[in-house]
């Protein structure tokens, strides 16, 4: 099953991976101790139909709520790597999924050799920016489709 990363999972890649700026692609190559990597682009965020900080700062939703109106997110850019929180419905951020599946060969996911065994998606799930509620709904729908697909495969 897929999910948005928790704050704990974001802290794990901050603490256990090397973050190298890729000037050509405008983002970070995030490399685990096992040498495998993912690329996190600095796409900025969308607010009032305007993209802000695109190419210089990345914002990615977590699944972690810290109040009825706020959720946590990963933020990174030049000299900035950490966790922030903001109004869930106000800003539209990028979305990257994780899987806690035991199979490190899940298509489209990378095993960065993290202590938790969390697998990280190779790419963002959509080219659109999503608010936190939309991101949660997207993950629910994706998991429903995956579950239905598995049940069809098992019944054959």
How high is the mean pLDDT in each 10-residue block of the chain (156 residues)? 94 98 96 98 96 96 91 92 90 94 75 95 92 94 84 50
pLDDT of residue 136: 95
Instruction: Give the CB-side neighbour count of residue 37, counting CA atoms within 13 A.
Output: 15
Domain range list for the chain: 2-151
Helices marked H in the chain — which ranges? 7-16, 132-155
pLDDT of residue 116: 94
Phi, psi of 58 (to 5 degrees): -110, 140
C-alpha distances out from residue 77 to 21, 54, 66, 83, 92, Å: 9, 10, 23, 12, 17
pLDDT of residue 95: 96
pLDDT of residue 153: 46
């Amino acid at each position: 099953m897929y999910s948005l990363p928790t704050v704990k999972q974001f802290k794990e890649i901050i603490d256990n991976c090397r973050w190298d700026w890729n000037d050509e692609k405008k983002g970070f190559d995030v490399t685990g101790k096992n040498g495998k990597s993912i690329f996190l682009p600095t796409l900025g965020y969308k607010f009032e139909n305007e993209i802000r900080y695109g190419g210089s700062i990345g914002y990615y939703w977590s699944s972690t709520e810290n109040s009825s109106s706020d959720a946590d997110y990963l933020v990174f850019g030049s000299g900035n790597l950490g966790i922030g929180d903001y109004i869930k419905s106000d800003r539209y951020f990028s979305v990257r999924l994780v899987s806690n599946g035991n199979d490190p060969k899940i298509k489209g996911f990378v095993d960065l050799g993290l202590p938790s065994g969390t697998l990280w998606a190779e790419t963002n799930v959509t080219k659109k920016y999503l608010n936190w509620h939309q991101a949660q709904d997207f993950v629910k729908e994706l998991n429903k489709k995956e579950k239905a697909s598995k049940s069809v495969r098992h019944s054959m």
